[in-house]
Structure 1
Amino acid sequence: MLRSIWSYRGFISGSVKREFQSRYRNSLLGAAWTVLNPLAMIVVYTVIFSQVMRTRLPGVDNGFAYSIYLCAGILTWGLFAEIVSRAQNVFLEHANLIKKISFPRICLPIIVLLNAGINFTIIFSLFVLFLLFSGTFPGISFVAIFPVLAIQIAFAIGLGIIVGVLNVFFRDVGQFFAVLLQFWFWFTPVVYPESILPDAVRPYLNLNPMAPLVSAYHQILVHGQWPEWGSLLIPAVLAAILCIVGMRLFRKRVGEIVDEL
């Protein structure tokens, strides 16, 4: 499979380039929308939670702390949501391409992953520049971002492939998962600190594999500390399982996908 993917690297890179260009074609601001959309969300949540609801981060005196907390959560959640949301419809959206051209179908999830990665790299790089110029860069603990990010990406693409294959055969899967993703967002401490939750609710966060990942980003970027690696064990194992199950499901059903489309 890796050899076939490498053979079609030109197809993958060309598709990524075309999709990025088509997204901002005939747009005056172009790729700036990659920054403006999450920035608008961050401003809205800052006003609602920091001003209206008087949310504060315990043990942090930095004036930028809550904005950094929001950026760390929203930007990384946005990467997860984009990968999963795009992957769940990738086979349906490219139905004509799948029927007309012979190529490894696994290239499509890879294209989704690369496009999401480019968008994330743009906005997250600007966020890092803000940390540097504001004097809030976390220091050496920043390198912990990369293994946490790797776990999250593996978790997202594994889940995305499973949902994407199932959505070809059962279209309700995509509709249900879109709704689930909205509830999932609010059940993850992305825009609010875990400390504001009632004591009876906090234990249920252990059932949410995204909660320790987002908390790890907050620990690194807000507090400048190393994440609790033990808390990432379950998301890492779950990510590996989802990738294995997703690939097996894909290989088993790839021949039937064309017929269903």
Structure 2
Amino acid sequence: MPQMIQALWNYRGFIKGSVKRDFQSKYQNSLLGAAWTVLNPLAMIVVYTVIFANVMHSKLPGVDNTFGYSIYLCAGVLTWGFFSEITLAAQNMFLQNANLLKKISFPRLCLPVVVVANATLNFAIVFTLFSVFLLLSGSFPGWSFLALFLVLAIQILFSVGLGLILGVLNVFFRDVGQFFGIALTFWFWLTPIVYPAAILPEAVKRLMHLNPMYSLIQAYQGILVQGEWPDLQTLLYPFILALVFCAYGFTLFRKHSGDMIDEL
């Protein structure tokens, strides 16, 4: 592990340059530029608010208006977008950088770091604006806001582990990427983001606890909507699963890193 960290530190210039290049190329020849980072999730939130606000806000504890439901949506949609951006980019990171991997010698774990850095930069832009909005509207949750960093750390760890597994498997089985894209859509709707968990039958609620994103999204919503500190026991399951995924992902990567070059 210390050697891995040292190798990544030695190539910090490569990582920084890759993040800068990816960010610039994403908005090259775009009139609105980085504004699209904000407009895409904003459009989704507006659509869901218009469609579901009148039905759902009355079912949310402590929320009795459309404004509160919009904050509830932001808490789930923005953080889910962060998760999906990391995992979707990670599953293709080796395929998209095939030429680079074949021609240049560098620690291949730089690629997951670049993926996470890019997604974190985009998320930071959107969430900073959202936080400013909460302050100006008088809806800022207070000191419990600090708990977001713990929940985000667990989510990033989980996303990296899952993304690394998908990234390696996708090199050898290209159907993995197609399947995960579909699975992610179902996963979104099977997680209480647009609707509250309170409307679900008790049997479904019990099954919902098997979904690691359920606990994380619930924690975000509790912090940002109710201003509550998250129950650490509910975060234990996604944290342990994140560690397992990371351990398996790194093992899979180290075992097949040589074979991947032949497959690319």
After TM superposition, is the score higher than 0.5? yes
Give 2:263's aligned amino acid.
E
**1-side partners of 2:66 and 2:239: how far apart?**
33
**2-side partners of 1:55 and 1:182: how far apart?**
23
Question: What are the equivalent positions in structure 2 for 1:222-237 lying under 5 Å apart?
Answer: 222-237=225-240
Q: Does 1:211 align with 2:200?
A: no
Give 2:5's aligned amino acid.
L
Question: What are the equivalent positions in structure 2 for 1:157-172 lying under 5 Å apart?
Answer: 157-172=160-175
* Deviation sequence 1:49-106 (CA, Å, 0-9, x none): 113x354312334652101000010000000000000000100011111111111111
Q: Give the structure 1 partner of residue 186 of structure 2.
A: 183
Q: Give the structure 2 partner of residue 101 of structure 1.
A: 104
> What is the percentage of aligned positions where both structures have the same residue?
65
Residue correspondences, number: 260
**1-side partners of 2:126 and 2:40: how far apart?**
10
Alignment match of 1:49 (pick from 52, 62, 65): 52
Question: What are the equivalent positions in structure 2 for 1:1-261 lying under 5 Å apart?
Answer: 1-51=4-54, 53-56=55-58, 57-61=60-64, 64-261=67-264
Structure 1 gaps of 5+ residues are none
1:21 partner SS: helix
8 Å CA contact 2:56, 2:69 repeated in 1: no
Give 1:97's aligned amino acid.
L
Give 1:185's aligned amino acid.
F
Structure 2 gaps of 5+ residues are none
Tell me the TM-score normalized by structure 2.
Answer: 0.96
Please identify runs of 4+ aligned residues in structure 1 that moved more than 4 A: none
1:73 partner SS: helix
Pairwise CA distance, 1:191: 1.2
* Deviation sequence 1:30-56 (CA, Å, 0-9, x none): 0000000000000000011113x3543
Tell me the TM-score normalized by structure 1.
Answer: 0.97
Pairwise CA distance, 1:2: 1.2
1:188 partner SS: coil
1:191 partner SS: coil
* Deviation sequence 1:147-185 (CA, Å, 0-9, x none): 100000000001000010011011111111111111100
**2-side partners of 1:83 and 1:200: how far apart?**
31
Give 2:250's aligned amino acid.
M
